[in-house]
């Protein structure tokens, strides 16, 4: 009988893990410089922690990141987000990922600091076998150009051509931060200024906005975040639904070529934008597992829009 492979696990800081997991992440995700697309995880100031799976030679063969989000309403709730789950291709299929995630869940339960753990994946069967339940899907849409005619600029409002997010100066970033805070939905988690600033280190990330003559941002969106979401317009924000509709309508009218190439992950805004959207793709995405309370109770709160773990790519 074949002896099962035995692995050991540890939790380290992002700085301790950075050099050890760089090659593994690139091999596992078949990309180059994976870490550069998720700088908020690996900054020295990051609140994330990195799980390492080690073989008998103390080589890193698997990894995942754990980060924390807080929701102040309707009660103080703390969720652990698990991401960047990777296993070296040379040892995939030997149970490394399953053992690593089980160990991670055990550690989160022992720490008794989190109400639930969640992640985003299009592989529900694997995570359901670990006790997760599917709590949401990702819907990608395109703007239906046939329903959008010429759009005259609103009084005092200017549409900004998409520009690299890294090119925004401090004042513009503060305006963007203010708009995001003002547009927060009741169920969104507390934003982190450090995470917000880390976003501007992501390669090829664009940003566009609708703002008035004083520079106050009334609506906007990021475009093309990360390896998995190139070409997706995401993280819509607006001070009202009507402003958001005007923003997207004008964007499609004034930048038709760019709009035709974009997918939209509209999230909670989908009902408001229904008449402008044409659904392109729907896939499993949001998996959740309760820790301090049952998974069913957590999902009930999610469905009531009291809690909704928000990723930067959704809206």
The model's pLDDT over 79-118, given as tens digits with 9 standing for 90+, comes to 999 999 999 999 999 999 999 999 999 999 998 899 999 9
Tokens 């008449």 sit at which residue?
A: 275
Bigger pLDDT: 274 or 174?
A: 174
Consecutive H or E run containing 195: helix 193-199
* Residues 269-274, mean pLDDT to the nearest whole number: 76
Peptide bond into 74 cis (omega under 30): yes
Place 234 in a pLDDT band, splitting at 50, 70 and 90. confident
Q: What pLDDT sits at residue 226?
A: 63
More confident site: 271 or 3 = 271
Q: How far apart are CA 138 and CA 109, in angstroms?
A: 28
* Band of residue 314 on the pLDDT scale cut at 50, 70, 90: very low
Q: Check pLDDT > 50 for residue 312.
A: no
Residue 23 has pLDDT above 50, yes or no: yes
Question: Would the pLDDT of 6 be above 60?
Answer: yes
Average pLDDT of the chain? 84
What's the DSSP call for residue 153?
A: P
CB 208 within 8 A of CB 57: no
d(CA 80, CA 78): 7
Is pLDDT larger for residue 310 or for residue 294? 294
Categorize the per-residue pLDDT at 162 as very low, low, confident or very high, splitting at 50, 70 and 90. very high
Most confident range (mean pLDDT) of 56-70, 173-187, 251-265 is: 56-70
Per-residue pLDDT tens digits for 140-161: 888 876 777 666 566 678 999 9
pLDDT band of residue 184 (cuts 50, 70, 90) is low
pLDDT for the residue 41: 86
What is the C-alpha separation between 225 and 139, in angstroms, rounded?
Answer: 16
At 225, is the pLDDT very low, low, confident or very high (cuts 50, 70, 90)?
low
pTM above 0.95, yes or no: no
Please tell me what DSSP assigns to residue 15. H
* pLDDT the model gives residue 155: 64
Q: Please answer whether residues 34 and 226 qualify as being in contact, where contact means their C-beta atoms are separated by less than 8 angstroms.
A: no
Element spanning 42, H or E: helix 39-42
Q: How far apart are CA 227 and CA 237, in angstroms?
A: 22
Can you give the pLDDT at residue 74? 64
| 296 has a pLDDT exceeding 80 | yes
């Amino acid at each position: 009988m074949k002896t099962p492979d035995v692995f050991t696990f540890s939790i380290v800081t992002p700085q301790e893990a950075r050099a050890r997991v760089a090659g593994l992440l690139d091999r596992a995700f078949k990309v180059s410089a994976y870490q550069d697309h998720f700088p908020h995880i690996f900054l020295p100031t990051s609140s994330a922690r990195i799980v390492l799976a080690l073989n008998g030679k103390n080589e890193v063969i698997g990894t995942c990141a754990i980060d924390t989000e807080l929701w102040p309403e309707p009660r103080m709730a703390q969720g652990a987000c698990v991401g960047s789950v990777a296993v070296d291709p040379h040892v995939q299929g030997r149970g490394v990922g399953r053992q690593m995630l089980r160990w991670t869940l055990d550690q989160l339960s022992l720490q008794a600091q989190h109400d639930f753990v969640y992640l985003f994946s299009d592989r529900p069967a694997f995570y359901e076998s670990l006790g997760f339940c599917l709590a949401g899907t990702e819907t990608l849409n395109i703007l239906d150009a046939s329903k959008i005619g010429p759009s005259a600029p609103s009084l005092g409002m200017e549409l900004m051509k998409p520009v690299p997010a890294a090119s925004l100066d401090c004042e513009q970033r503060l305006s963007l931060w203010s708009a995001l805070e003002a547009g927060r939905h009741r169920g969104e988690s507390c934003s982190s200024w450090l995470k917000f600033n880390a976003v501007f280190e992501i390669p090829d990330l664009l940003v566009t906005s609708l703002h008035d003559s004083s520079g106050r941002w009334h609506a906007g969106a990021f475009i093309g975040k990360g390896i998995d979401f190139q070409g997706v317009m995401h993280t819509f924000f607006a001070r009202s639904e009507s402003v958001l509709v005007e923003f997207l309508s004008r964007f499609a009218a004034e930048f038709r070529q760019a709009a035709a190439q974009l997918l939209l992950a509209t999230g909670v805004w989908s009902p408001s934008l229904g008449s402008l959207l044409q659904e392109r793709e729907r896939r499993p995405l949001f998996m959740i597992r309760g820790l301090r309370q049952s998974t069913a109770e957590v999902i009930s709160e999610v469905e009531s829009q009291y809690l909704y773990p928000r990723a930067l790519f959704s809206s």
